Amino acid sequence: MHDFTPFSGLAGGALIGLAAALLMLLTGRIAGVTGIVGGLLQADTADRSWRVAFIAGLIAAPLIAALSGAPLPRPSMNASLVVITIAGVLVGFGTRMGNGCTSGHGVCGFARLSGRSIAATIIFMLAAIATVAIARHGLGG
């Protein structure tokens, strides 16, 4: 095990689940980041304001944490900018094509016991595990 932090993981996860539960109970919406952002980028979307508000909340979270002394997130990424660009395009294109990402399918879909979302989550997990295995260890291929 490497940097295993089950308690902060559970606590942070519970907050993610709380946010998804509250968004449904208060506004009737699924907390899927892909759907929320992707809808904003679509010409025929009428309901833009709540999407902007949710995204503003996401970006404001580390800024508010910074007020209490936490550092702003500057994650270390080992991949080159070319690989990061390819990864970004694949993530954006793939999540829109598959109608969801880790939040919409992984959290909200599992919580609804949606077979479609559970299938999507298993598939993107396996694809990601295979990608890391090949990139780091040259396995499979």
Partner 1 sequence: MALLASFVCGLIFGAGLLISGMTDPQKVLGFLDLFGAWDATLAFVMAGAVAVAATGFAIARRRAAPAFSARFLWPDRNDIDAPLVAGAVLFGIGWGLAGICPGPALVNLAGLSLPIVVFVVAMLAGMIGQNLFGKNLWRRDAVAPRSIDTTSLPSRADG
> Which residues 54-73 are close enough to bind partner 1 by CB under 8 A?
54-66, 70, 72-73
Binders of partner 1 among residues 12 to 31 (CB under 8 A) are: 12-31
Looking up tokens 């396995």, which residue turns up? 139
Among 67, 69, 95, 141, binds partner 1 (CB under 8 A): 95
Can you tell me the distance from the alpha carbon of 101 to that of 94, in angstroms, rounded to the nearest whole number?
A: 9
Beta carbon of residue 141, minimum distance to partner 1 (angstroms, whole number): 13
Beta carbon of residue 113, minimum distance to partner 1 (angstroms, whole number): 8
Binders of partner 1 among residues 96 to 115 (CB under 8 A) are: 96-112, 114-115
Beta carbon of residue 83, minimum distance to partner 1 (angstroms, whole number): 6
Q: Is residue 32 a contact partner of residue 106, using CB atoms and an 8 Å limit?
A: no
Among 49, 67, 68, 141, binds partner 1 (CB under 8 A): 49
82: tokens are 């070319």
Could you tell me the CA-to-CA distances from 40 to 3, 52, 55 in Å, in that order? 36, 8, 10
Q: What angle do CA 67, 71, 73 make, to 5 degrees?
A: 115
